[in-house]
Chains A and B, each alone.
Chain A
Amino acid sequence: MAAEHHGTLAHHFESYDQQREASSLGMWLFLVTEVMFFGGFFLAYIIYRSRWPQDFALASHHLDVTLGGINTVVLIASSLTMALAVRSAQLARRKATVLFLLFTLLFGLGFLGIKAAEYADKFEHHLVPGPGFEFHDEGSDPRHAEMFFNLYFGMTGLHAAHMVIGAGLVFWLMFPAWKGRFNAEYHNPVEVVGLYWHFVDIIWIFLFPLLYLIGFHLEG
């Protein structure tokens, strides 16, 4: 067994292998609860979408597919840089780890910036659920469209909250990475934040078609 690195092996673990396996398993257990957390939203979406398919398609048509698509690409790119950050940490490449974390952070912030611009646009067009909500599309019940936007803001809002937390975690990781704390045996913090980051990416992979694309084939 290799010597301890900066006291990074907790005393209740027998080996670094065991420590890594335990931390990954713990993160996965947390992600199971996250699947159920978002799952409730997806379930509500399935029920209302199957009831009011046309209303949802018309409401979805008011979302910007270009911005949503760009954000999908940005988020997948951030997952690539996150995976490469974990890899660099495994290889104890200090500067590469910091650099890939920085790219991940910047992609994450870029995503949030675009999301903020989209939200502002929805406020301007009275598409935010509540007393100010207005929807005049022909052949559509405004109350059903309002339900679509409830789900839109609920799901993307919860997702964006996860992005903010993820960006904070990635920023925090840059300090120990800069100090050269990570190596083949001890890189659990980067690994588990990576798991979290990829999970948030997966949520968006499902949100993009369900929210942005269901009205894409409509004219106008």
Chain B
Amino acid sequence: MSVHVEPVRVYVFVFLALMVGTGLTVFAAAFDLSASGIPFANDLLAMAIAVAKASLVVWFFMHVRHSTPLTKLVVVGALLWLVFMVALTLGDYDTRGLLGVPGK
């Protein structure tokens, strides 16, 4: 696997997409979306845009699209362990008080 030199326009497009994403994030934050009935609708939308932006950075700027399968596995592994940490911790916090445990 020899080195892959990306055309400049790819980086410029990614940069512009990130700028649009930033603008969209600020624009969406100006509205109170809690009226939609979805809890934390604003936060969820902002995080969805942030994940999209981060994916662009990882895939293009960080060259993961040209990296070895082993490197790709490590990247996915990072996300997996993060999900474990968040899911297990919230699994504790969000279920406290569900059962009437004496002496709690």
Contact = CB atoms under 8 A, between A and B. Distances in A.
Tier of interface size on chain A: 35 or more
Interface in B65-93: 67-68, 70-71, 74-75, 77-79, 81-82, 85-86, 89-90, 93
A199 B54 CA distance: 9
Contact of B30 (A46, A191, A217): A217
A165 interface: no
Given A205-B57, A216-B29, A84 B47 contact: no
Instruction: Name A's interface SS.
Output: helix
A73 B19 contact: yes
B interface: dominant SS: helix
A84 B22 contact: no
Given A76-B18, A202-B58, A87 B31 contact: no
Interface of A: 17, 20-21, 24-25, 28-29, 31-32, 35-36, 39-40, 42-43, 46-47, 49-50, 53, 65, 69, 72-73, 76-77, 79-80, 82-84, 87, 90-91, 184-185, 187, 191, 194-195, 198-199, 201-202, 205-206, 208-210, 213-214, 216-217
